[in-house]
Structure 1
Amino acid sequence: MAVVQARIAILEDSRGKVLVILPEQQLLHLALLNHSYKRALKAAQVGQVKKIFVPTLVRQAQFMDKLLSLPLILDHTLKDADVLAIYEPISGLRFELERSRLTHAQVFRFALTPHQIDSRLPTQDDEQAILLAVDRFTSLRIKERLADTLEIPPLPLTAQKIIMLSSNQEAGANELVPLVEADPSLAAQVISWASSPYYAAPGRVQSVKDAIVRVLGFDLVMNLALGLALNKTLKVPADVPQGVDSYWTQAVCCATAMEALVKVMPPARRPSAGMSYLAGLLHNFGYLVLAHVFPPHFSLINRYLECNLNLASHYVEKQVLGVTREQVGAWLLQCWQLPEEVWTGMRHMHNSDYRGPHQEYAHLLNLALSLLREQGIGHVPGESTDEVLFELLGLEPELCRDAIRHMLDEREQLNLIAERLSLSA
């Protein structure tokens, strides 16, 4: 008896809800489905899906009868399966369905494998891929320099000065403090960050210098200030995918997770704590770049993400645009002359096979995001953590998971930091 791994999604439009079943690790091609089915479907509201897939109800016969009373669409690759092992990403529930119960399903082709997505893209470097996407999906006039074409705001002066300062081996708090205090908003953010109960600083943090000397240290504040300055360059879009944590929540949690993982690494193998923190804070910066450069298609990306919560975002972005947030984000940070460790880590953070310069930052980001997903932060945990990452970084799996759980004991405080940053950005 053939058992096939599948996932279920609830889509809806003005005419009502529809069940969609496809292979678990394949992408739901929303445009292709809507074209075949002659509807304008999109993902149902997360709250509604949670009310439908309640753990105590799923095993009851009447629940399945009611669920399968909805119109049902099946991807053609599943039509010969005897049993479908179903995964519902929002609730995390798994259950089995016999194919005999799905005889009323309409069958279409609408799911894509990762190989199908990758194979349709031409082989080219990142800059060529970005230019091709700009040419196809925007009305921007192609100029001699890609930076001019994309009309990206210039690197903030504060960030430029911090980058210059970071190359000065003799620099310390006395040089960093006036740079940060020259930007009152940035200074307030640094003080607010250091004042969080998460860091348990004794007494009140009264100044940027206080934040450096008593709480966070020079290296961390320098990279924190740089990350905050860059994240203020581009606005967080109003249209975001439902079911995914906010930009600032992901940034704060990833940065803090990177800090926690570096602390449990063998001392001889630890990368820069401050640089790791910066890489975590900026890991999703390319998302802001996509929103800035591709506004007409950015909404479409979000609708696809909502239908494919268990898949990594780069599959969706490759399908819709032919370029990913990691490509455009890393390219821009490189243009701005940020440390190579940061943009290299960003570019390769989803590739556990990457072996090259600064691979430890890419693998740390990959591991931090995977462990956060295990705890329900970021995208839904559709893919398990690649255990080879622990070996590559010289880390003990249980030590890492304990460090992340301990960090998330202060989730309320981390959320408060993220909320403050979102209001001041």
Structure 2
Amino acid sequence: MSSLKNLPVLPEASLRILDAINTPDIPIEKLADALSLSPGLVARLLGLANSAYFARGRNVSDIRTAIFQVLGLDLVKALAMAIIFNVQFDTRKCQGFDAEYFWIRSLTTAVSAQKLAADIPQLREFAPSAIYSGGLLLNIGVLVLGYLLPEELHDIFVENKKTRLPVSEGISRQMGQSHYQIGHFLLHKWHLPALYQLLLQNYENKDFESTELPLLILLRVCERLSATVIAGEPINLQEIEPECRKIELPLENIRELAEQLAENQPAMQKLAAIMGN
């Protein structure tokens, strides 16, 4: 906890960008102006806009075109927020930290949640961009640990390769709290929207009851789905059936999405490489 209290203060430019990102109905021109405060952020967003996953042969040379014609306002907001975190937390001192794997997991979880939510009546009150951002930020606590406690996290990675236990379990055992709790601490300190704070704070709370519960359940399902697809393994539908039933999510939707995600893995890997550099 003492290490977490020493988390860096966000630079002024990042604060202004986050304020713009989290301003509802902000005009695209004003958002573009705010993003331009960080040339590195703009470079990564343009890299994403020009990737095969998004651009489809178009050449995008400025951030306004990227927003207007390729990525869209909501997606730019979500990706920009994630990139700010990645820039702030340099994990290169943690030998076992695989930035590309981290971001492909995060991106796949976010994409899965946004796609599946479209067919879940209980989630109609949540904006697609909020669902996507929630998926991107789920594991932000791991990024924090890679920056603050690189040697300790590396040891957890090494140990978990031997035991084959989930990294999240190793973090909870060694740190005394989960990476979701650590992520919540960060989002609270940096005054990120209350929804994202609530999702991380209650991710492991099995007794949680609120209007956000269906979204929490969906994110739990999508985390499992992303891990399974990236590992190249078949999804165990029986394992997730009870949670899917709670949110009226047809298992066939999961099966179809798993196939789509598997086909798109090469493109997703390229996106993750851009996010993680």
* Fold match (TM-score > 0.5): yes
Secondary structure of 1:337 counterpart: coil
Is 2:244 the counterpart of 1:390? yes
Contact 2:86–2:276 (CA<8 Å) still a contact in 1? no
Q: 2:50 aligns with which of 195, 201, 220?
A: 195
Structure 2 counterpart of 1:325: 179
Structure 2 counterpart of 1:48: none
Structure 2 counterpart of 1:336: 190
Contact 2:153–2:171 (CA<8 Å) still a contact in 1? no
Structure 2 counterpart of 1:275: 130
Contact 2:221–2:243 (CA<8 Å) still a contact in 1? yes
Q: 1:224 aligns with which of 79, 83, 93?
A: 79
TM-score by length of 2: 0.85
Structure 2 counterpart of 1:374: 228
Distance in 1, matches of 2:65 and 2:29, equals 11
Q: 1:234 aligns with which of 54, 65, 89?
A: 89
Contact 2:105–2:230 (CA<8 Å) still a contact in 1? no
Distance in 1, matches of 2:229 and 2:215, equals 21
- Note closer, same or farther for the CA distance 1:343–1:268 as it changes in structure 2 (3 Å cut): closer
- Structure 1 gaps of 5+ residues are 1-130, 135-139, 141-145
**Larger deviation, residues 231-240 vs 349-358:** 349-358
Structure 2 counterpart of 1:152: 7
Q: Note the aligned Cα RMSD (angstroms).
A: 3.0
Distance in 2, matches of 1:378 and 1:159, equals 37
Is 2:122 the counterpart of 1:292? no
Deviation by residue 1:210-269 (Cα, 9 ceiling, x = unmatched): 121112221221121112112211112442279x97222222222222232233434862
Q: 1:400 aligns with which of 241, 254, 261?
A: 254
Give, as a single letter, the amino acid of the residue that structure 1 aligns with 2:202.
H
- Note closer, same or farther for the CA distance 1:168–1:252 as it changes in structure 2 (3 Å cut): closer
Secondary structure of 1:387 counterpart: helix
More helix by share: 2
Structure 2 counterpart of 1:345: 199
Distance in 2, matches of 1:377 and 1:334, equals 32
- Note closer, same or farther for the CA distance 1:361–1:308 as it changes in structure 2 (3 Å cut): farther
Deviation of 1:195 (Å): 2.2
Deviation by residue 1:98-123 (Cα, 9 ceiling, x = unmatched): xxxxxxxxxxxxxxxxxxxxxxxxxx
Give, as a single letter, the amino acid of the residue that structure 2 aligns with 1:262.
A
Structure with larger Rg = 1
- Note closer, same or farther for the CA distance 1:331–1:172 as it changes in structure 2 (3 Å cut): same
TM-score by length of 1: 0.58
Distance in 2, matches of 1:308 and 1:419, equals 28
Give, as a single letter, the amino acid of the residue that structure 2 aligns with 1:364.
L
Larger RCO: Structure 1 or Structure 2 (Cα < 8 Å, ≥ 6 residues apart)? 2
Deviation of 1:177 (Å): 0.5
Distance in 2, matches of 1:271 and 1:403, equals 20
Contact 1:158–1:183 (CA<8 Å) still a contact in 2? yes
Task: Give me the identity figure in percent.
Answer: 22
Contact 1:187–1:208 (CA<8 Å) still a contact in 2? yes
Deviation of 1:383 (Å): 11
Contact 1:257–1:368 (CA<8 Å) still a contact in 2? yes
Is 2:68 the counterpart of 1:213? yes
Distance in 1, matches of 2:123 and 2:170, equals 38
Secondary structure of 1:281 counterpart: helix
More strand by share: 1
Deviation of 1:357 (Å): 5.5
Deviation of 1:350 (Å): 4.4
Structure 2 counterpart of 1:257: 112
Paired residues for 1:135-174 under 5 Å: 147=5, 151-174=6-29
Aligned pairs, number: 276
Contact 2:21–2:81 (CA<8 Å) still a contact in 1? no
Structure 2 counterpart of 1:181: 36
- Note closer, same or farther for the CA distance 1:392–1:410 as it changes in structure 2 (3 Å cut): same
Deviation of 1:167 (Å): 4.9
Give, as a single letter, the amino acid of the residue that structure 2 aligns with 1:177.
A
Q: 1:303 aligns with which of 146, 154, 158?
A: 158
Distance in 1, matches of 2:248 and 2:17, equals 31
Distance in 2, matches of 1:272 and 1:162, equals 20
- Structure 2 gaps of 5+ residues are none
Structure 1 counterpart of 2:268: 414
Contact 1:360–1:393 (CA<8 Å) still a contact in 2? yes
Contact 1:234–1:292 (CA<8 Å) still a contact in 2? yes
